[in-house]
Amino acid sequence: MDLGLAIKERALTIGFDLAGIAPLGVWRDLEFSRQWVEKGFNGEMSYLENPKRFDPRLVLPSAKSVICLGLVYNAPFPCSTEVSEGTGKNQESGVRSQKKEDRARNPLVRPGPPVAGDDGQRTTGNGQPTPRAWISRYAWGHDYHQIMRARLEQLRAVVEELAPGVETRVFVDTGPVVERAFARFSGIGWMGKNTCIINQEKGSWFFLGVILTSLELAPDLPAPDRCGSCTACLEACPTGALVEPYVMDASRCISYLTIELHCSIPDEFRPKIGHNVFGCDICQDVCPWNNSRQSSVLSSQQVTSQQRHSSDRHHATHPATTKVSQFHPMTVAAIHPAPEDGGVRKQLTTEDGPLTMDDGPLTTDHRPLATGPASYSLYNPPLDALASISPEGFRRIFAHSPIKRAKLSGWLRNLCVAMGNSGDERFVPWLEQAAKRSDPVVREHAAWALKRLRGK
């Protein structure tokens, strides 16, 4: 059997959802990446300026081909554009909510969040719904770097077994490799106008991993671009980060602003961030290829016949859902108060009183699913519940989550922005405490949020 084919088959056995082979010489894309950085589109992500990124031979001199792998992380819960933000009086997110009847027809929409005890109708004493936050789909569960790397190492062992003496380098996300440049030439998907790699059967909710190898493997044919005349992602982006089709100014992207940026978020973007407290899914949520009903329409109306492919009939099956249970939303459960610890429960919820920002006793814990009424999942979580996580709780709960990347300072900063955008004055006491914290970034965003809430 052809060596490349054997490797791809073993990749699927190991548990990857997609596998393809790209040539090394994707020079036009790598040059594009270099120019992209020169334009300053990388914001403060200086690691994207590493010259090794623009020539994979600087990473592995013997490199000849690139094995590209995809692992689906999509847990089948409704999109950010389909859920309520709570009271949402101060929203300026620019997201066009789907019409009610659209939501009703959408097979992805299921009532209520996936945790027993959290009925999705969380209210405070006066019956007002509690605003909900949005955490990006990729960060609902366990950190993907470890999961991907373990599988990539398994595949690397296979490659070394099949071709003794081969040289390899394995990357997922953090290395000096422009992963999407190779992915889009490996047949596993095309690059959408939202800049994500999209697979026509699986959608775009998948992570990428690559193995640079000294093997000269036969490359796969690139997948045809199936965006057609659609521009839904460009229109939906609240911050105008998709400056033209296929090009993102990352310094405007909510994912960058809430995760990668470690200082103050420019004022102009804060109202547009809406309830996104970690990352943003909007340009993927609106993509027809992540919605089975709409993608069939796109397939029949907007993609030219030359672009069509025999497997179009599989559309109804996507977007694919993950086989990795660790990517499902993590549940955070309140520790029920010990008898000698009577005040702790009160700090957890707004039902019983005002929120506090507590640096003292542990108020939250991460437990297995469905532990009790005070548990909530990271899928569309109540903003007040996130605010009740103590600094020590943040470190412990998110120890194995992508969310730790924001660090406590970025996380509290993001909560302040979401609270300011919520229009809900019940956050005032929490924000007043945040405005006294030693961290100047948190203090300044809390002051901004207070002004926004009071001036609404």
Which stretches does DSSP call E strand in 325-399?
A: 331-334, 364-366, 376-377
Is 358 known to be catalytic? no
Residue 384 CB, shortest distance to ligand SF4, in Å, is 24
Residue 288 CB, shortest distance to ligand SF4, in Å, is 5
Interacting residues with ligand SF4 (CB under 6 A)? 192-194, 227, 230-233, 237, 239, 241-242, 248, 253-255, 280, 282-283, 286-289
Q: CB-wise, 147 or 442, nearer to ligand B12? A: 147
Q: Which of ligand SF4, ligand B12, none does residue 158 bind to, with CB < 5 to 8 Å depending on kind?
A: none
Q: CB-wise, 269 or 430, nearer to ligand SF4? A: 269
With CB atoms as reference, the residue minimizing the distance to ligand SF4 is 192
DSSP line for 189-226? -EE-TTS-EEBTTTBS-EEEEEEEESS-PPPPPPPPP-
Q: Which of ligand B12, ligand SF4, none does residue 418 bind to, with CB < 5 to 8 Å depending on kind?
A: none
Residue 408 CB, shortest distance to ligand SF4, in Å, is 23
CA distances from 396 to 127, 143, 196, 399 (A): 32, 14, 31, 5
**Residue 246 touching ligand B12 (CB under 6 A):** yes
Question: What are the CB-based long-range contacts (under 8 Å, 24+) for 27-35?
Answer: 29/178, 29/181, 29/184, 29/185, 30/54, 30/55, 30/56, 30/178, 30/181, 33/178, 33/181
Q: CB-wise, 79 or 412, nearer to ligand B12? A: 79
Nearest CA to 96 out of 293, 233, 205, 242 is that of 233
- The catalytic residue among 55, 102, 173, 225 is 173
- According to DSSP, the β-strands at 65-72 and 206-213 are antiparallel
Residue 342 CB, shortest distance to ligand B12, in Å, is 40
Q: CB-wise, 219 or 402, nearer to ligand SF4? A: 402
C-beta of residue 423 within 8 angstroms of C-beta of residue 130: no
Residue 32 CB, shortest distance to ligand SF4, in Å, is 17
Q: CB-wise, 198 or 374, nearer to ligand B12? A: 198
Q: Side-chain half-sphere of 19: how many Cα atoms within 13 Å?
A: 18
Q: CB-wise, 237 or 333, nearer to ligand SF4? A: 237
**Residue 54 touching ligand B12 (CB under 6 A):** no
Please return the burial class of 122, using the count of CB atoms within 10 Å of its CB with bins 0-12, 13-18 and 19+: buried
Nearest CA to 185 out of 225, 227, 223 is that of 223
**Residue 243 touching ligand B12 (CB under 6 A):** no
Count of beta carbons in the 10 Å neighbourhood of residue 107 = 10
Q: Which residues are catalytic?
A: 173
Binding site for ligand B12 (CB under 6 A): 28-29, 32-33, 36, 45, 48, 136, 138, 172-173, 177-181, 184, 191, 194-197, 204, 206-208, 246-248, 250, 253, 255-256, 259-260, 279-281, 283
